[in-house]
Structure formats: structure tokens, C-alpha cells
Structure 1
Amino acid sequence: MEYASFEEVAAAFDESALDLDYSKRDLDASYDASSATVITLSFDSTSVQGAGAQASAAGVVISSAGTYIVSGELTDGQLLVDAGDDDKVQLVLAGAIIHNEDGAAIYVRNADKCFVTLDAGTENNLSDGSSYALEDDSDEPYATLFSLCDLTLNGSGTLSVTSAYRHAVCSKDDLVVVSDTYNISAVEDGLRGHDSVKVRDGVFTIQADGDGIKSNKDDDPTKGFVSIDGGAFDIQAGDDAVQGKTLVRLAGGSMVVAANDDAFHSDLEMHLMGASIEASAGDDAFHAETKLTVDGGTVNVTSCNEGYEAERVYVNGGDTHIVASDDGVNASAADLSDDADADTVSNTLPNGGTPGALGKGGGAATPDAGGQAPAGARQGGQAPDSAAQQDGQAPGTAGAQQGGQAPDAAGAQQGGSVPEPPAGDNAGGAGGATGSGQQGGDPAADGGMGQADSNCLIQINGGYLVVDSVGDSIDSNGNVEVTGGVLLVSGPTSDGNGAFDYDGSATISGGTVLMVGSTGMAQSFTSGTQAFAMTSASGEAGQSVCMVDGSGNVMASFTATKRFGMVLASSPAFAEGGEYTLVIDGEVANAKADGYTDSGAVSGGSETAITASCTASAGVGGAGGMDAGGANGAGGIGGAGGPAAGGGK
């Protein structure tokens, strides 16, 4: 079936329909040496013993099915496979060195399938020059090892591929890697399969100026995927470390990746199932346009712009640590256009202005005559008012604007926080970041910055998720649902961002949550079947944050990585109306390296009483309110607007 657009491919995509298996022939690297044709390379000449191959002035041409054992060195030539449509060809590299100055070292022009088997204990090397002599009106081949048919790499030897032209290893159909050791250097992509890339095992060192591993077929919902079931990877990429058009599936193996762009990118879906990953990225660590599912594995993101990003993010399991310079986990609208990889709309706007980055709300701000976004710009635009904050907030006026930015004259400090109230007064007495700007706003109204997108969802059902972010830590342009797992957050110190940010609703029905961060944009849950509490409490980097029950038992703890002014907490042990104690900077017994434990005792520290509830307290500071004793608000601490309904200052 032909699909007219990638949107149609996306609508038809089903991960369960993909061919993720390996054939018996893929897994069988054996061969019969007695019946094989032997090809011997001798610098500028070749010799052939057996049927199906002929020496030529350019190297060797293989024209029929069979097994071919290749050894020796060819200083400037090519091993060409040009067999029948139904022929299966096995190339056994047994200490082969092939360099082609003006073309692919191995070119599989025609066959049903080609198997490249690395003979046990041998080292093999393929390389090319920086320009190819191509036929008229053709751009093929464009890789050092290039195949127009399905290509499988197996065996137990070593293959080094150095590409000075474009890609290192490329199949125009499926690329399957079963085993072996690979040292790959490429001026563009390292491993590339147009229809798919499937890796069962192997040891990979990949240095690519483009993508490390890539599949890019865009007109078939059963193709265009990368699936990794095992192997050990060290990938250094100038673009993405791993990129798939329809799916990136990480089911096993260990990966250390550093990418100038995204570490892992899919134009549709991504599925983390069991791999052990350490990643650093110049942009996002894990970016899928439509859906990102984390079912298992161990993920340690040491640096990135955003950690997990997709329209819908599901965390069901796994052990994740994310350090992000922007958002830790972000749900934003999918972009299925051809230029979905673009990070910004342009470098300049008319009349010399500078654009905002594509906003969390899904679009860049519209420029005014001076090139800046006008008041009321969506997230990503800069409002033209000295009191305006980042993320496209409107300028301060007599009342709070949508987005929750307070005017300085209302008593709130610039950035949305309010001065510390006298004891017993409400700390968040002016409607909050999620309110509509009305005094004592409705927690259910508006939902914060911009209009909520019902397609956007962050759902945390299990696993262990630790986030340290400069921007919003948990940020959804739609809704957030927490049903289980452990969520530990060290949020931003800037009042222009928050540890928790959503535009729709945020509910909790299970799991353990401890979030700390700045106060200016702070949001709590809107409701839940499990009680929660948000309170103002200050601490510094390296200090413990601990929830304690009435008997002094630790319910949950972790160590903050930066200073903070608020805490949002929930535990399965919380009861409606239950009174608990928040302990800052105490000594917690038997905690993990990041300070987490859900048992034991804490000694010392400063204490704050909190009261848990399954509903947000609309009467205390409205949508953003929260009193000093821990009453909940659906939005920020000390947002803009009028006095609280309860009379707080």
C-alpha cells in the first residue's frame, strides 16, 4: 500500500506489526570451506579459485550465489557483488583489507541477500577516498560497504570501516548485525539501513560526523525503524547517536553515547525496554514525536537540553536519572512535517528581530514590527515589557494576566513570588500561575501557560525517575497523571520555571513524589485519589528532603541538588487530612547515593508541618495559592492577582 504522506504512515504505525526477529541464516555464521570459492587479494591484483567470481581490472566481480572467502590486501579496487535476484551470497572476510579511492570498497549491486561473515579471530579493514566516480544520474553507491539488498553482518571477527566519502555501512533494505566487533569512522553516518537496522549483539565503536545509527524509510509504517536487542556501543555523533523514522527500540545492551544533536531521536515512537544507557546530548536525550514509552532499562543522562520528550510520555519502569539544561520530561505537540527535526523556525525575523524558540505550547511567537513578540505571546516568545518573564508571559498590569505573571505593584516580587508573610498569613495569597488571572482564581481554569493540548500527556506508572533541570522539570502542554513509581525532582532556581508545569490537569493515584524548586511558577496536583501536599520550605544544594509520619518513620527522602523554596510531596502512605512532617537537612539513615529511602529514621534538620489532601485548596490563594502550613493549591506559590479568598495578604 502506498501512503500519500508521513501523517498517514503515522496513523497506520503499529509496533507489534514490525519484523523484529532474526532469521536462522542471520544467526548462522558457519560455512563450508571445502566448497567455497577462494578470493586472494594481492595489493593491485586478485586471484580466484572456484566458481562464481572473476578477477577484473577493478578487483573482483561475484556473479552467482555461494560462499566466497576473501583474504589479503587490495590497495585500490572493489569487491563487487552483481548476482541474480534470488541469489544469496556469503562473503567471508578472513583478514581482508580493501581500499577503493573512488568508490565503495564492497558494493553489493544485486542479490537477494548478502551475508558478510567475519572469520573468527581475523581483523578486516574497509576504506574509501573522499570522492566517488559515479555513473551519470546516479548517487549510488554512497558508503564504504554499500548494499542495494538486505545485508547481514555476523561471525566473530573484527571489521574496521573508515569512510571519507559519506557513510560507513549502508543497506538500501534491511541492515542486520548479529555479532562481531566494529570500529567505524564516517564523515556522515556510521550504520545505516533504509528499511531498518536490527542489532542483536556485537561491540561497536562509532565516530560519525552525521548520525551514528540510522534508518530513514518514510513511506511504510512497517519500516524505518532501529531495534537494538544487545551489544556494547560507544557512539560519538555529530548529529544524532541513534535515529529512526518510525521507531527507536532499545531492548538490551549497553550504550555510551555523546551527540551534538539528540542522543536518540524518532520521528514517531520510541520504546526503552532494557538497555543500559549513559548519554550526553547537545539537544534532547530521548526525543520521539508521538510516543515515548519507558518500560525498563537503566538511563543516566549526564547533560542535555531536554531529557524525555514526546507528545505522550509513559514511564512504566526502569531507572532513570536526567540532568537537563531545559525541561527534564516534556510533553509537547508532535510535528509530523518533513522538517520535524528543525530546532528553530529561523535565525532572524523581519525588521531585525530575534525569534523565540519553538515554544512549549507548540509554536513560535508572532513578531511585531520590531521583531519581538507582542504581549500575550505563547511560550517561546518574549513579551515586550520590562516586567515580563521568559516563556512568553504577558507584561504586568493592574491584574494578573493569563500565564500568572504578577505586576510588581501588587506586592509580588518580579518573577511571581511574594514577600514572606507574617506567621499565620497565607504565603500565596494572590491567584496563581494556573489561574485565569482572576482574584482567587479557579484551580481548574486555564491550566497555566497557554491553552492545554489534550493530546499531550506525561503518565508515570512505575519505575524510578530522578530529574535535575534548569527549566521545568516535569512539563506537559496537556495533562500529567502519576499512578505509581518514584519521582524525585530538583527543579529550577529561577522563578520563570517550575519543578512541575502543566497546562491541563495533574492527578495522582499512586506512587511516591518529592519535588523541590523555585516558588514563582510552582504548581501542585489538581486532584487525586492519593493525598498530596505542597508547602514553602527552603533548602540548599546537598541538603536532604524527607517526609516523616507521625511516628517518626521516613516515608520518602532524597538529596536536593540545588537551592529551593518549595516542596511538593505525595506518598501511598498519605491519608486524606493526614498531618506529616517535612524535614530539611536532616541525617537520613541507609539512603541511596541520591538520598532516596522509604524507611528508617531521620535525625536533626528543620521541620515543617504539612497536611495532605486529595483536592487542591482553591480557597487559599486561588489557583496558585498555598499557605505556609502546607495547604494545597493547583498552581504556583504566590502568583499574581488579588488577595486570597481566605483573606491572606
Structure 2
Amino acid sequence: MKTTKMKHFAGVVALCTVLLASACSNGGNNTAATSNAAVVETVSADQQTDAATTALTMDELVEFDEEDYSTEWSEDSATKIVFDGASATVTGAGAAAGDGGSVSITEAGTYVLSGSLSDGQLTVNAPDGTVRLVLNGVELHHNDNAPLYILEAGKVVMTLQEGTDNKLSDGAEYSYADANADEPNAALYSKADLTINGTGSLTVEGNFNNGINSRDDLKLVSGTITVKAVDDGLLGKDRVAALEGTALTVEAGGDGVKSTNAEEEGKGIIAIGGGVFDITSGNDALQAETSMLVAGGTFSLVTGGGSVNGETHTEEFGGGWGGGGQGFPGGGEMPAAPGTGDAAGAASEASAASASDAGVTTAAASTTDAAATTAEAAEEESTSAKALKAGSDIQIGGGTFTIDSADDSVHSNGNLTIAGGEFSLTSGDDGIHADSAVTIAGGKIDITKSYEGIEGSVIKLAGGETNVTASDDGVNVGGGNDGSSVNGRAGQNTITDGTHMLTISGGTHSVNASGDGLDSNGSIAMSGGTVTVSGPTNAGNGSLDYDGTFEMTGGYLIAAGSSGMLQATSDTSSQQSVLMMFPSTLEAGTLVRLEDDEGNAIATFAPAKTFQAVMISSPDLKQGGTYKVFSGGSSTGTETNGLYEGGEYTGGTEVVSFEITSAVTWVNESGVTTAQSGMGMGGGGRGGMGGGQRPMRGQGGQLPADGTAPGAGDGTVPVAPPEGAADTGAEAQ
């Protein structure tokens, strides 16, 4: 008698609930979800700033019973099926051997499989009860169909016998009795619930199409499973669930693991309580049609050949540049640029005329462009190569993730919550993306490469540690899903309804962005946490960029970058901020130190890229206090993402001493100054250079209301656009 027992995983339910509770019970008025809690509650406008979602738990999403865990079987009561090339021997009831070694199982019971079948099929057609298949060192191959085909059963439990290696494989072409048939389409094909357990190994080769396909539930309790498929690796139509005893390796031309049922409520789910997952896929690695829950596990995921195969993004910067808008009275001059003086002003007028002509051409081609955008969006969807993807909701409470994805690393078409886990994400597109709400309440997230780091219509940073590197925006509150936004990208729409928010209340977050550092097409509110930004070096982006307000009530914020599109926190904030404009660009790694009149450090920071402006907000800044700004020098403090704590600061050069007299104090080397209106600096709206509207990407430079050309100012403080800006007619935001 075989007496091996599997450990029960009852603790998984509690694990999921505890890890996700901190992210999903933060004050929103949530309605309890029904039908396995898989349908995520829609977030109403007045709840969006909390980005609250309904908590998913393993026990609500999937049920494991005694039969799923049990690996026991008896020599006395089990039916033995021994394959021998082109023949098979059946000892016991419930099964019969046919031509070529094929075997049909027609009754519930336990069947122990061993030996090798060179070209045949094991079928299961037992409508009532549970069929247990014990793979005890068996290899099944069929040249033109599925070697293991489960037509009907109450349930099938497949046990991988301890110490055995087992294999299923098919040929590259299938032959169907009915010309209209499209199933089976996998080496292991089941039309009943299928559970795999045990401590042995199973290798599945899907040379025709898929590796393992269950048209109901697919549950992985334990075992070492290796799947190689020309299309999808593993499918569970209703749900795919895995526990910590699972070790899964997948190499798939299509998706790695997916659940596809979008028609029935509470299905189309992936729920993972633990395990080891090594997936290389041409398309998505883990794709749930509705909801995905990950409570633990180790994940190594590569999609679409990795981030090197990501879409090429070209950022353009356009018209609307000029020198007559920034103005730091008494300050140093910035480099010359279009719009400087009379000659440049005339050149700007000529450019404005060209831009107007270009605008006519753009309008005429708008229908064609829209159609092309739609086609491109459809193509993008058809070739999706995301790592973790769900149609309505993703919740992650733990696990270790190493991801190299051609498309988004973590993507939800609805809401996304991260409450724990460790992430190393290298993405050819977004690191973390949700069409609706992104909530980060815990975990350690390193986005080492991305186009945009974290993107969503609502973003809440409530805890954890994030480090973001982005070739465009670091953290971007955009306008919805990729296909519905301007130019087919989220984040291109200006939101004016007050519901789209970046809210920062806790955690430690570092951003290194070539585009905007923190970008909200709505508003920003910060009440806690620590945020450092090494922002853009070009004048067409800003380390902070928002269209509504930035209410600063707590926390610690340092944002460094170029000086072309400066914004500080709103002047209605209860916590003080200082924006320092240096007379010239400083090199990456140059220390900037802000200290009080007693020499106590407010901040010591070394931006990762060249910069000319630094904004600092700290609870230690007080109205009426006197402060000094230093540049250069060195610190013996402990450095994390450019921010130094403790130690001794020496060798710096004092740039300016000043007194704080308002919520936002603008400073240059001459002292306190006031930002001129029209720049969107300090009090809210974005505003354009020289008093005009800031052009949105794809809109082209907009002319001021009086019809004069952009940049026709007095040239007092000209701003240099990025190379080629005068010709592009579009600007990143």
C-alpha cells in the first residue's frame, strides 16, 4: 500500500487575507463581493482617491478538498494499466485496452499507469465520481491527437508518484474524426476539473498547440511540472490555482498560464498561494481573464523575448517655447533659446506660421490617424506580451518576482493592489499599469527599466518601497486605458473632474525619470512618506507636473530636474516647500544641502542626473525660519537613492540665505523671488511658456490668445528647448 500523504495548505487562506487586508481596508465604503469575490467592485468617483478595491482571498476564489490533497492509493483496489509500445495490459475493473495500445477508462476509481505508449491515447469517459490517475513512471505519445484525453468525469485527480518521471507528448498535426472539430487541442486535454498533486515529475510537450488545457478548473497542488508548447502552456478555463508544493516550468510560444472564462461570474481566475514558477512565453506569462491573486511564490518571467523587444517610443517636443514667462527677478540668466530678444522673437513668429500650416495638415489627416491608432491598439492587444495580466483586478500580497517583459510587467485592465512581495521589473513598456486604480501598500519594488514606471487613472502610494527608472514619466496619473487615450496612450488626457489623483501617504519612493517625475493629469496630495525625484534634463518636462493642485500636508519630498517646466506644491499647502533655482546647470551627483540657521540638515541630496532646480518640502521647514542652500561638497552620511542621512557635511559652497514667508518659497542665488503667473508654478495649473497654454503631446504648440507667436517675450530668462523642439509640434507630458 502506498501511504504518502500531502501536507494540507489551510494556512494559505489566512496568509492571503492578512497580506491584502492593509491595502483593501483603507477607509473606502466597499460592498462585499459575491460569487467567489472574483468580481471587483467598481470604484466610484468619490472613492477613487482612496483607490480601494474589494479584497480577494484564496478561499473565495478556489476550493481545495480532501481529494485534491490526497495521494494515497492501494495496490489491492487500484486498476493497473501497463503500456508496452503498441500494446497495453489492464489488470482490474473500469478500463479496457484497444487497438494500438489505446486504453479507455469508463468508471470512477484509481488507475495506476506505467510503461510507454508509442502512438495511442488514454481516454477518460466516466460521468460519475472521481477518477484518480496515478502516473507511476509512464510515457504516452500520440502522433496525431492528444495522448491523454478526458472527455467526461466528475473530477480527475492526477498524482505524480514519488520518485517517478512521467511524460506526455503529441505530434505537430492532429487528425479529427469530424472535420469541424477543434478539440482536443493539447497534449493533456480535460473537459472536467483537473487536479495535479504528488511529488514526482511530469513533462508535457504540446507540439500541435497547447500543453495542458482544462475546460473547467486546473488545480496544481504539488509536483514538478515542465510544459513546452507551441502555443499556450497551461489553461484552466474557469480558474487556475496553485499551491506552494508546485514547481512549474513553462516554455510557450503563446501565453504561459491563463484562465479564459469571461462569460460566467466568478470565473476566469488565477489564484496562487505559493510555488516556484519559471515561465518564458511569446505572449503573456500569467493571464487571468477576470481576477488574479498572488499570495506567495517565486516567479521568474520572461515575455516576448524580454524588454529589449519592447515597443520603440519616440517623444516629441513642440512649439510654445519662449523666454518671456519664467522670470526669476534678480536671478541668473539661463541659456539662450528660441524667443530670446528681437531676432529670436521674429524667428518664433515664422515658426508660429509654420506651425499653423502644419495644424491644417494635421486636422485634414485626423480621420486617418484615428483609424491607424485603432488598428495599432488592436494589434497591440493581439500581441500582448505582459508578465502578470488580468482583466479586472490584480492583488499581490507576497512573493518574489523577477520579470523581463516586452510589454507591461504588471498590468490590470481594472484595479491593481500590491500589499507585499519583492519585485525586480525590467519592462519594454510600463513597469506597473492599471487602467483604473493602482494601490501600493507594501512590498519592495525595483523597476529597473520602463517607458513609464507606474501608471493608472488613480495612484495611491500608501507604503512599501519603490524605486522607479523610466525613459518617460516615473509615476503617471493618466486618462484611462491605453487605447482610449490621446495618441493611444494612457496619461495623455487632461482630467478636470477632480477624481484622478496621485495620493502619497506612506512608504519610501524614488523616481529617476527622463520625462516627468511625478505626473498627474489631475491633482496630487501628499500627507506622508518619503519621495525623491531625479527628474528630466530636457526643458520640455518637469520633475513635478500636475494640472490641478498639489496639496502638501506632510511627508518628505525632494524633486530635482530641469528648469523649463517648473512646478512646486500649491501655495494653499499647510506644509512649507522651497524651490531653488540655480544660476546654471549642475552635474549629476552634485550635493544640494538645505539647512536651518543652526546648521541642522533639512535635506542633503545628490540628484542622479544633471539639474538646475530642486524643490524640497519637509515638516522641518517653518514659517519665519532662516535657511541656507549649499551646493557641492561631500557627506559622510548613509546614502539611499541620492538622499543622505546623518554624517557630516563639508566642503560645500553657500549659494543663498533666505527666510521662509509663505507656503512655497521660490529662491535663486540672489534670494527670495516670485514666480511670474502663467507658468503653472507654485499654485496649480500647468500653464505654458510665456503665458500660453502648455501644449499637450500630439496637439502641437498652441498660440497665445492674442495671436502673437510663442516666445515673443522680452527674453529676460530664455528657456532652452530640447534639440529639435522647434520642428516637432508636440510635447511630452
TM-score per shorter chain, which class?
A: 0.7 to 0.9
What stretches of structure 1 of length at least 5 have no aligned partner? 335-358, 367-377, 383-390, 393-448, 627-631
Contact 1:324 1:468 in 2 (8 A): no
In the alignment, what sits opposite 2:423? 299
Counterpart mapping for 1:241-320 below 5 A: 241-260=285-304, 261-310=385-434, 311-320=436-445
Is the aligned partner of 1:161 residue 2:204?
yes
2:185 is matched with which residue?
Answer: 142
Residue 121 (structure 2) aligns with:
78
Aligned to 2:675: 620
Please give the secondary structure, in 2, of the residue aligned with 1:380: helix
| Structure 2 gap segments, 5+ residues each | 1-33, 44-52, 305-384, 460-476, 667-673, 693-710, 718-733
Q: CA deviation at 1:252?
A: 0.9
TM-score under structure 1 length normalisation: 0.73
Give the counterpart letter for 2:232 in structure 1: D
Equivalent pair of 2:158/2:195 in contact (CA under 8 Å): yes
Give secondary structure in 1 for the equivalent of 2:89.
Answer: strand
CA–CA separation in structure 2 for the residues paired with 1:494 and 1:222: 48
Q: 1:236 to 1:546 in 2, by over 3 A?
A: farther
- How far did 1:55 drift? 1.4
Q: Hey, what's the Cα distance between the residues in 2 that align with 1:512 and 1:534?
A: 14
Tell me the distance in 1 between the aligned counterparts of 2:192 and 2:148.
Answer: 13
What are the equivalent positions in structure 2 for 1:477-488 lying under 5 Å apart?
A: 477-488=521-532
Aligned partners of 1:319 and 1:464 also within 8 Å = no
Q: How does 1:187-586 map to 2 (within 5 A)?
A: 187-201=230-244, 202-260=246-304, 261-310=385-434, 311-332=436-457, 360-361=478-479, 379-380=486-487, 450-452=494-496, 454-526=498-570, 528-536=573-581, 538-542=585-589, 560-575=607-622
User: How many Å apart are 1:620 and its aligned residue?
Assistant: 2.3
Q: Distance in 1 between matches of 2:64 and 2:592?
A: 48
Specify the code of the residue in structure 2 equivalent to 1:290. G
Identity value in percent: 36
Candidates 52, 58, 62, aligned match of 2:94 = 52
Shift of 1:111: 1.0
In the alignment, is the contact (CA less than 8 A) between 2:519 and 2:544 conserved in 1? Answer: yes
SS at match of 1:223: coil
1: CA distance between counterparts of 2:432 and 2:632?
A: 30
CA deviation string 1:6-62 (max 9, x = no partner): xx9875995548424533332333333432211112122211111222112262211
Name the structure with the higher helix share: 2
Match of 1:42 in 2: 84
Cα distance change of structure 1 residues 94 and 360 upon mapping to structure 2, 3 Å threshold = same
Count of equivalent residues = 537
CA 1:129–1:638 in structure 2 vs 1: closer, same or farther (change >3 Å)?
A: same
| SS of equivalent to 1:26 | helix
Change (3 A) 1:262 1:636: same
C-alpha offsets along residues 94-135 of structure 1, whole Å, 9 cap, x if unaligned? 222112221222221111221111111211112112222233
| Farther-moved stretch of structure 1 (497-506 vs 166-175) | 497-506
Residue 172 of structure 1 is aligned with which of 215, 218, 221?
215
Cα distance change of structure 1 residues 36 and 317 upon mapping to structure 2, 3 Å threshold: same
Partners of 1:379 and 1:82 lie apart in 2 by 53
Report how far residue 457 of structure 1 moved.
Answer: 3.5
- Alpha-carbon distance in structure 1 between the residues aligned to 2:267 and 2:626: 54
Q: Alpha-carbon deviation of 1:304?
A: 3.2
Say what the alpha-carbon RMSD is for the aligned residues: 3.8
Distance in 1 of aligned mates of 2:482 and 2:296: 38
Please state how far the C-alpha of 1:191 moved relative to its aligned partner: 2.0
Range moving further from structure 2, 315-324 or 560-569: 560-569
User: Is the 1:524–1:636 Cα contact (8 Å) retained in structure 2?
Assistant: no
Task: Check conservation: 1:211, 1:243, Cα contact below 8 A.
Answer: yes
3-state SS in 2 of match to 1:25? helix
Question: Greater CA deviation, 18-27 or 546-555?
Answer: 546-555
Q: Does 1:61 align with 2:104?
A: yes
Q: Hey, what's the Cα distance between the residues in 2 that align with 1:492 and 1:148?
A: 54
CA–CA separation in structure 2 for the residues paired with 1:612 and 1:104? 76
SS at match of 1:83: strand
Does structure 2 conserve the Cα–Cα contact (< 8 Å) formed by 1:624 and 1:634?
no
Decide whether aligned partners of structure 1 residues 497 and 161 sit closer, same or farther in structure 2, where only a CA change above 3 A counts.
farther
Report the AA paired with residue 536 of structure 1: M
1:544 Cα offset (Å): 5.8
Letter in structure 1 aligned against 2:94: G
- How many Å apart are 1:183 and its aligned residue? 1.9
1:60–1:223 CA distance, 2 compared to 1 (3 A): same
CA distance in 1, matches of 2:550, 2:580: 17
SS of alignment partner, residue 640 of structure 1: helix
Shifted more, 143-152 versus 13-22: the winner is 13-22
Shift of 1:478: 3.1
**Are residues 167 and 461 of structure 1, via their aligned partners in 2, closer, same or farther at CA, if it must alter by over 3 Å?**
farther
Aligned residue for 1:200, secondary structure, equals strand
Q: Taking structure 1 as reference, are residues 517 and 48 closer, same or farther at Cα in structure 2, changes over 3 Å only?
A: farther
Are the structure 2 counterparts of residues 74 and 364 from structure 1 closer, same or farther at C-alpha, using a change threshold of 3 Å?
closer
Query: Equivalents in 2 of 1:547, 1:161: separation in Å?
Result: 62
Could you tell which deviates more after superposition, 548-557 or 102-111?
548-557
Whole-angstrom distance in 2 between the partners of 1:558 and 1:20: 49
Equivalent position SS for 2:690: coil
User: What is the CA distance between 1:489 and its match in structure 2?
Assistant: 3.2
Instruction: Give the whole-Å Cα distance in 1 for the aligned partners of 2:183 and 2:488.
Output: 44
* Secondary structure in 1 matching 2:510: strand
